Structure 1
Amino acid sequence: MKYLWWTTQVLCLLISLFFFVFGVDLIRGAYGLDDPFSFIMTFFAASFIILISLTLTLVFVIKMIRVYRCLKPSKAQEERS
């Protein structure tokens, strides 16, 4: 059961990193557009995608670090054993 949680977290992390790369590619593509309205709309949409994906990446990494620290035995417990 615990491996399912780690697998889910890593999968969500990879999905959020995919959307980050997609957002960067979209923002680069926005600079090739000729219509100013399309440029502005694509630019802000790509910025929003990047913002959300980086936020989710940060959340998943922080969750995994917290759980890893809780599972890792402390030095005081190792000295008692």
Structure 2
Amino acid sequence: MKYLWWIAQILCILISLFFLVFGVDLIRGAYNLNDPFSFIMTFFAASFIILISLTLVLVCTIKMIRVYRRLKPSQVQADRS
């Protein structure tokens, strides 16, 4: 049960990284568009995708670091006993 949380966080990071790559690819594709309206809409949509995915990666990473730091002292005390 305790490993399920770690797996969920890693899965969240992997999905977010996929969308980050997708957003970068989308923003690169926006520069090939000829219509200015399509370019602007695609550019801002891709920027939004990148922003959300980077935020999710950051949040999940910070959560994992905080939980690891809380577990680390208790494991050290358990090893001393």
Q: State TM-score, norm by structure 1.
A: 0.91
4+ aligned runs moved over 4 Å, structure 1: none
Task: Write the distance in 1 (CA, Å) between the matches of 2:2 and 2:31.
Answer: 45
RMSD of the alignment, in Å? 1.8
1:34 maps to what in 2? Answer: 34
- Alignment size in residue pairs: 80
CA-CA distance at 1:44 after TM superposition: 0.2
Identity between Structure 1 and Structure 2 (%)? 84
* SS in structure 1 of the partner of residue 32 of structure 2: coil
2:9 maps to what in 1? Answer: 9
Residue ranges of structure 1 left out of the alignment (5+ in a row): none
Task: Write the distance in 2 (CA, Å) between the matches of 1:2 and 1:41.
Answer: 43
Q: State TM-score, norm by structure 2.
A: 0.91
CA-CA distance at 1:73 after TM superposition: 1.9
**What does residue range 2-81 of structure 1 map to in structure 2 within 5 Å?**
2-73=2-73, 77=77, 81=81
CA-CA distance at 1:77 after TM superposition: 3.8
| Partner deviation per Cα, 1:25-68 (whole Å, 9 max, x = no partner) | 00000000000000000000000000000001000000000000
